[in-house]
Amino acid sequence: MKANLKKYEGYLYIAPWLIGILVFTAYPFITSFVLSLTDYNLVASPNFIGLDNYKRMINTPMFWTSFTNTIKYVVLTVPLKLAFALFIAYILNFKLKGVNFFRTAYYLPSILGGSVAVAVLWRFIFADTGFVNLILGTVGVDPISWLGDPRYAVFTISLLRVWQFGSAMVIFLAALKNIPESLYEAAKIDGATKMATFLKVTLPMITPVVFFNFIMQLVQAFQEFNGPYIITGGGPLNSTYLFPLYIYDNSFKYFRMGYGSALSWFLFVVIMIFTLITFRSEKYWVYYSDEGDE
């Protein structure tokens, strides 16, 4: 009897995790797919309607507007954030006085950036009479309607996401510190410039981390909600109306839970496609130091 209990002891240890993933991940995941095939509206019982929700979305202009806006947002935000995070990590990798303070200070926006309070603060900073236009005014530049002009609104929203570069920066910094010093010494002996050293030594050595950060930032950018919802509400002229806002409005504003579930599954498939493409491209640009051991 005791031997039998010992046999199942491992299952007891993993039970909390197993229950958590089944109840809070697997069940909602499967349920949302089932609901996407119904006309469920939180009031009446759901009726099976097959693929009607999916057919309806491709014939809805707002669906394409929000999806196009989301693609623009992702294309703008992900490269900007990665480049900025790597730039700051590269600087903080030098032995500077008070560097620990700066590492902490640059990480703070990642903790605060997604909060409602910071999003509200962002709206005031980029208002027509806000801090940014005040600074531009001192050098003779006319005020710019950062949040009221469709040409600038997406860019302004993207800056909030870029500002939350702390997590990516910390990961880049850890990768930079793991590059063997002997590689830099060899490059120096060969007479390589700093730019050549960065492009031919530093960047190839951290490509696994670039790959990881790219995937993480890609997924987060596709799911962006707080910034456009709080700062612009999707405006002006729907220029910042991203796909998560479209899902939210249909699900919780108009109570079209079936249609909202179908939209969620569409977003899931899009993220999966982009992620798979990235994984397929990995062999062409990601370098692993243990590849030579195979």
DSSP codes of every residue in 57-120: HHT-HHHHHHHHHHHHHHHHHHHHHHHHHHHHHHHHTS--TTHHHHHHHHHHHHHHTTSHHHHH
Question: Burial of 194 by CB count in 10 Å (0-12 exposed, 13-18 middle, 19+ buried)?
Answer: exposed
How far is it, in rounded angstroms, from Cα 260 to Cα 217?
A: 24
Distance in angstroms (rounded) separating the CA atoms of residues 178 and 205: 9
First to last CA, the chain: 47
* pLDDT score at 207: 94
- Per-residue pLDDT, 23: 93
What pLDDT does 52 receive? 95
3-state secondary structure of 234: coil
Low-confidence ranges of the chain (pLDDT < 50): 294
Domains of the chain: 60-284 (1.10.3720.10)
State the pLDDT at residue 115: 66
Rounded to the nearest angstrom, the gap between the alpha carbon of residue 94 and the centroid of all alpha carbons in its chain is 28
Burial, 195: exposed, middle or buried (Cβ in 10 Å; 0-12, 13-18, 19+)? exposed
The pLDDT assigned to 114 comes to 58
Q: Alpha-carbon distance 109 to 162, whole Å?
A: 10
Given this model, what pLDDT does residue 110 score? 67
Matching residue, tokens 């790597």 = 86
Enumerate residues 6+ apart whose C-beta is below 8 A from 149.
236
Query: Phi and psi dihedrals of 275, rounded to 5?
Result: -65, -40
The pairs formed by 148-152 with CB atoms below 8 angstroms and a separation of 24 or more are 148/236, 149/236, 150/236, 150/237, 150/239
Distance CA 83, CA 91 (A): 12
3 state SS of 160: helix
